[in-house]
Structures are given as structure tokens and as C-alpha cells.
Chain A
């Protein structure tokens, strides 16, 4: 059943990723072609129309779609303002979406630990009840060797179950990755697999430790199930609550209001300084300065937008750090972050794309304004009569986006891996301590 779920989820992920990639590439091409082929018009009108850029779906989103259902996919690069990424797939879904995302990562993170529990809860407790534990120990088999053996057996069961999934994921990456990105995607997959292995290691030792410690297999099962429920359904929500309490997300109204206030103040100062006028586009500003005024106005906006969005996004990243560290108590939280970090579907990657898109917007605006300074500001008392054509449109390059390299992702996600490794050590120490208490007489 677990294999079936993993393979089905990967098939769904594969289909979604293929579809999204194909559409994204086609749309990106089409959009650029439209830009090049537009009629003659005033460069600022062209800037107003702008371009759309589309976020590519990383290859590994087949395995872990991460936040991608809740993050926008399309951004409109328009004049004057930075836009949010629009069209979150979750907006086009029913309320059922909120139960979770059906993905291989979800099966691995939530359901596989349950499987480990089912296979392992009576590893020691069951043997004790049957009396075989006493026999084994009386033969002089050291307890730690017993622990190793059982851990290995559990690991082997899980491993065997997961082999088809790993092979399928490997194939998907090889087939799905764009040329050039293949090696990188394989490196990301390998690291993600290592993260999952550490995670399963933690669960296995934890299960064995609890099984050795509890007086009966019934108690062992109840304790483990309680831990699992806490991990799977309660912890992610509680950690989000905690993260929001420590680093509150601002209300949209406040965020926008502060940004607007800042923009107006900055505009007032700079327009006064550069053009000696109090208000933007005051009648005192002659038309032969509109080109340069557009440039000045756009550029003062870049800095203000950057400052405010950076602050917001830093808050998001701080919230995520809280969750990573909470991984010391609930390993799932650290793994979730690590897994989507390497799959390229976490917030850091989303931000990387958004920033690249915004850079491109600056480029379009600056090229258009520069042309206005050269050609419209020199027309005496006209501005919008000036029309540019293909030669100008061609100066704007096509938006090219590449997923950052695996090393970039690793540098951002080492705390997650460190927390997981610490978790493995703790979990191993716990099970070793639990097993060392096993005595022949007690058994």
C-alpha cells in the first residue's frame, strides 16, 4: 500500500511537473515573441504592458512539491511597481487541499514512520512477552548487538519497500531534468535521500528504544502512536503557530501602508531635490524632462520595494528557522525543510526566482527610460508623441532563469541536516541506554 501510494503520488507529481514545465516554457517564449513583435508605441506604454515571467517547476518537485501549491507561479513585470507572484495553485483547488498535498514526500514523511512503528513496536516488548528475549540474552548475546541486528532488520524492511520509489525517482530525474540540470538534480536527489535515511534512522532507533523501555507491547504501541500523531498532525501546526508568535507576519494592510508612506516620502524628497517640484508630475515639470523623471521615479521605487519585501521575506525565513530548530524535538520539521530545500521547492528558491524576476523588471524599465531620455526629452514640447519600434524592443533580452546549483541549496539547508544528525545521535543514544537496561532476570 505504501509503495502504491508513493508510486501513484510520483506519477501525479510527474504529470504536474511535466505539464507545468511545458506550459511555462511555451508561455515564456510566446510572451517574449509578443514583446518583440509589438507595434510602434511610446516606450513607457510598452513598459506598462511589460512582460510576464513564469516560475519553472524544478525537476524534484515530482518528489517534494514543497510550498509550490501555496506560492505564486506568474509575475507581471510592469512599470512603477513590484508585483507579487500570482496564481497560487491552491487558489484553484477545493477546500480539500488543506488536508495536505499528495506527494511522495508526504508519504515518506508521514506514513513511512507509521510503518516503522507497526513493524517495530514489539521488537523487544513482544519478545519479552513471549519469553524469547530472556533466552537470547542468556545465551550471552550482548544487548547492543541485539539492537544493531534489529535496527538493521527494520532498516532493511523499509529499504526494500523504498527501493522501487528511489529507482522511480532516479528515472524521473534523469528523464525530467533539462539538459545541463541533470547532474545537479541527481546531486540534490542524493542529498535529499541521505536526509530521509537519517530521518528513518531516527525513527527506527526511537521505536526500538521505546520497545525496549516499555513493559508491554501494548504500552509500546500506544506511546509510539501518540508520538506519531503528535509528529504528523499536531507538530507542523504548533510549530507554525510558535514561529508566527515569535516572528509575526505583518497584516497586509500595514505592510502596504508602510510601503506607500515610504514611497511617497522618498518621492517627495527626490523630486524636490532633482527637479525642484513638490508633487510628482507637477505642471511645473516641462515635458522635455518626463523621460528622466520616469527614470528617477522608477529607481527610487526599486530601493523602497526592495527594503520592504526584504523585511517581509526575512520574516518568513526566520519563521522557517524556528521550525528547523524545532526539528530537534520533532525530526519531521527539520526533514520537511531540508527535503523541500533540496527539491528546490522551498521559500528560499521561491525568493531567488522572485528576485531574478524583479531584476529583469528593473532592466526593462531602465532601458525604456533611457530611450525616452535620448529620444523623447529631446523633442521640445512633446513626450507621448514619441514612438519607438522593434529596435528598442530587441534591446531587452529574454528572461532566462536557472535554478541555483545544488551547492547553493546545501549551504542554505545545512542547519536542517545538522539538526537531523543530532536527532539521530540522540535517538541512538536513547535506544542504546534503553537496551542496556535489559537484564536476563528482568526479561
Chain B
């Protein structure tokens, strides 16, 4: 039996007799349980809403098609603004499609940005500037307060549990006078410390990794790789705080000093640095002004109103001649005002794009900067990494917006030629209309960011352990 093994066995015996470890593990377990339970409830509600929407969408076309057939057969008088034969109506709210982002398998683990950004958009011919800035419905106060999700438990509270069990690893032995006795044995300090930590780390890290992994993979179709990266991130983050414990203990101060030093480092790294970093990043790469954007939208709207004034001025014909609502020989009279609306929205989209691009560029810069500066706070890195893996981070939302954009373009491209040519919608068109399908993020991108995150947390951990090991050699047992 090696010395290390001996220490581990001994520590295990001592610890199991001590109440502290049981209390800490019970608290950790309760917090993980609570956060997972509320995460699962949140996601199952979100998925129920999405399923209902998909179901409704799947059934929406059939009655329209039937109505179209009745209109073509002359059995029904079309409504002026809800006429399935009219491409300007179908491209608008009548044929509306919902673009959505499904909840990722690990979504219950981190709320991330999901309470701020919507996961569904109704896409019509309307310019995207009128719908992409919608937000999810939530009390701003709650957004400000945050959530108790698994990511919060790991990032904020897990380090404190590590401290509770480890702040006095060597100092307590010395304060009780037992360290001297131990050191008189053929045992070096590093082995003693490693043994003590091994027992505590396997209890805490084991709970923090295995319980969520087992629960989530039982409840959801979790991908092994995503779960492995999540677990690696939790382990790396835990390892960082254990490294802090080694570092602090190696200085040989009293238990009280150790405790204060550890809490101090937590306050700085978890509470202060991320908050200051957020301000620093937003000052270094400021986003342009939204007020200016609103003003720009307005100017463009005024211009397009003038541009299409001649089309807007023409009255609806159907009031005098209701027969214009009925398609004839594959053609239909698209009201001049409706055509104008399409042209206006198309032009607004094209002309506001440079302004939108400037926002996206700055935000991308902020994100790159935040990732680079993450090394200053393992908490910030772990948070970004966890939300990314849970599919609730900024990157996946940006990916979603790209798909919304592509779909929006395809939707307009389908309808505008028909509106210009006055081509009536036929039953066959229902199959040709663009459909929105969600594509998941590229696996290599996810992997690269996950590796980067894990390394950004591990490197400082290794450095701390290195310094700690060096200090330990000068440690006095007395």
C-alpha cells in the first residue's frame, strides 16, 4: 500500500466520522436537485409551447388549401385581407411561418440568455427590423435578479462548499498539534495534502458531475459529447478552486486567515471581476446607439413612403368590384397598396442592413474580447462555457438569428415575384413555399469553444498548484 493510499484511507475514516462533509454534501445535493428540477419544469413548459406551435403550424395549411379550392370553384366569396389566392395575403399574416430554436438537450442546466431572447419569431414579408428585436415576456426585475439554475449552483455556490471542507487542511492539523506528529512519519507534505484533497474532491466533484449527468441523460436525449464537455468544464472549474485551496494552505497561515483569503478570492473572481469585465468590454467595443437606429429606421420609412406614394394612393378596387378578389386564369389583382407595402418592407430591409451589421460587428467584438479576457475570471469563462453547452448562450442565439434571416429572405423571394406579376396562389404552391427547418450549430465550433473554455480554467489552476507545491517545500510543521 502506497503512502498516498494510506493517507486517503485514513482521511476517509476521519471524514466519515465528521458531520461537516455530510452536511456540505447534503446542501450541494439539495441545491443541484432544486436547480435541476426547476430547469426541467422550465424546459418542459417551453417544449410544450413549441410542440403546440409546430402542431398548429402543421395543421394551418390544410384549411387554407380547402378554402382556396372553394374560392376557385366559386363556392366562397374571398375576404379582402384574408384571401389565400392573393400572394400579398399569403406572404403576410395569413401564411405566417414561425421560425424557432428548439431547446438543446442540456438546456435545463442553464437559463443563460433564454429569458431575454425569444426562441420563436413569426416571419412574414415585414422587414426584420420590426420583429428581430422582440423579447421574451418576463418581468425585468426577474431578469435582473437571475435564476437558480445548475450553472449558478456550480459557479457561485460550489466554490464555497469546496472552501468549507478544505480551508483548514494543514492549518487545522498544525493548530491541533497533529501535523508535527504526522510529519515525524516517513511522509511528505505534498502526499499528505494530495491525499486529503483526493478524498474531498472525489466526494464534491463526484456529486457535482455525476448527479446532473445521470439525471439529465435519463430525462433527455443528451449527446454524450456535450455532456462530456459539460462535465469537463465542471471538473476544471472545481479543480481551479481546489488549486486555490492548495495555494492558500501552502502559505502556512492560520485557519482564519485561510478562510478570509479564500472568501476574498471568491468575492473578487466571482462577484467583482465579471461585473467589471462586462463594463470594460462594453466600453472597449461600444455598440452603436439604438436611438440612432430607431431614427434611421424612421428616415428610411419616410423615404420609402415617398418612393411608393403613387401606389399607396390607389384605392382598393374590391369595394366597387368584389370580383377582383377571385383568381382568374392563374392571375389575381394584387391591390396596389399591398404591392407598395411589400416594396416598402423590402427596401427598409435592404437599407437598414448596414446599420444592423454595425451592431452585430460590435457585439461580435465584445464577445471575442470577453472570451480573451475570460482568463481573468474562471467564473466568467465557466458561465460562458456552460450556457454555450446548454444551448442558451449568445452564440447559439446568433446562429438562430442567421437562420431566421435566411428563411426571411427565402420567404420574400418566393412571394415578391408573384405579387409583381399578379400570379394567384394555387394548391401546388403550398408545397413550394419555403419551410423553416432548424439546423444545429456546427459541432467543430462548439468543440473548439469548449476546449478553449476548459483550458482557460485549467491553466490558472495548474499555475496555482505549481506555486503552491513550491511554497510547500518551505512549509513549517510547527
- Residues of A bordering B, CB below 8 Å: 5, 12, 19-20, 23-24, 26-27, 30-31, 34, 38-39, 41-42, 45, 49, 52, 54, 66-67, 69-74, 76, 84, 86-102, 106, 110-111, 114, 217-218, 221-222, 225, 229, 232-234, 236-241, 243-244, 249-253, 255, 279-283, 285-287, 312, 315-316, 319-320, 323, 346-347, 350, 381-385, 387
Whether B421 is near chain A, meaning CB under 8 Å from some CB there, is: no
| Neighbour of A96 across the interface among B116, B146, B370, CB < 8 A | B370
Contacts of A287 in B (CB 8 A): 315-316, 319-320
CB distance from A99 to the nearest CB of B (A): 4
- Contact (Cβ within 8 A) B256 A221: yes
| Neighbour of B394 across the interface among A26, A95, A99, CB < 8 A | A95
CB distance from B334 to the nearest CB of A (A): 15
- Contact (Cβ within 8 A) A383 B302: no
Kindly list 16 other residue pairs between chains A and B, CB separation below 8 angstroms, not including A316-B139, A316-B140. A27-B295, A52-B294, A67-B140, A74-B291, A84-B135, A88-B140, A92-B363, A93-B366, A94-B367, A95-B370, A96-B380, A243-B142, A244-B142, A253-B49, A315-B139, A347-B140
- Contact (Cβ within 8 A) B319 A240: no
| Neighbour of B305 across the interface among A45, A87, A385, CB < 8 A | A45
* Cα distance, A70 to B135, chains bound together (Å): 10
Whether B187 is near chain A, meaning CB under 8 Å from some CB there, is: no
In residues 268-298 of chain B, which contact A (Cβ within 8 Å)? 271-272, 274-279, 281-283, 287, 289-295, 297-298
| Neighbour of B116 across the interface among A39, A54, A88, A384, CB < 8 A | A88
Whether B72 is near chain A, meaning CB under 8 Å from some CB there, is: no
Contact A237-B148, Cβ < 8 Å, known A41-B312, A54-B291, A94-B281:
yes
- Contact (Cβ within 8 A) B137 A249: yes
- Contact (Cβ within 8 A) A96 B277: yes
- Contact (Cβ within 8 A) B278 A87: no
Whether B426 is near chain A, meaning CB under 8 Å from some CB there, is: no
- Contact (Cβ within 8 A) B267 A241: no
Contact with A along B95-119 (1 / 0, CB 8 A): 0000000000000000011001110
| Neighbour of A95 across the interface among B113, B136, B272, B320, CB < 8 A | B113
| Neighbour of B274 across the interface among A42, A96, A249, CB < 8 A | A96
| Neighbour of B291 across the interface among A27, A222, A280, A281, CB < 8 A | A27
Instruction: Give the interface residue-count category, chain B.
Output: 35 or more
- B interface majority secondary structure: helix
Whether B313 is near chain A, meaning CB under 8 Å from some CB there, is: yes
- Contact (Cβ within 8 A) B156 A67: no
Contacts of A30 in B (CB 8 A): 295
Whether B337 is near chain A, meaning CB under 8 Å from some CB there, is: yes
Contacts of B157 in A (CB 8 A): 233-234
Whether B384 is near chain A, meaning CB under 8 Å from some CB there, is: yes
8 example contacts (A-B, Cβ-Cβ < 8 A) are as follows: A24-B291, A30-B295, A52-B295, A76-B294, A90-B116, A95-B113, A253-B52, A253-B53
Contact with A along B381-414 (1 / 0, CB 8 A): 0011001000001100000000000000000000
Residue with the highest number of chain A CB atoms closer than 10 Å, among B38, B80, B278, B292? B278
CB distance from B118 to the nearest CB of A (A): 7
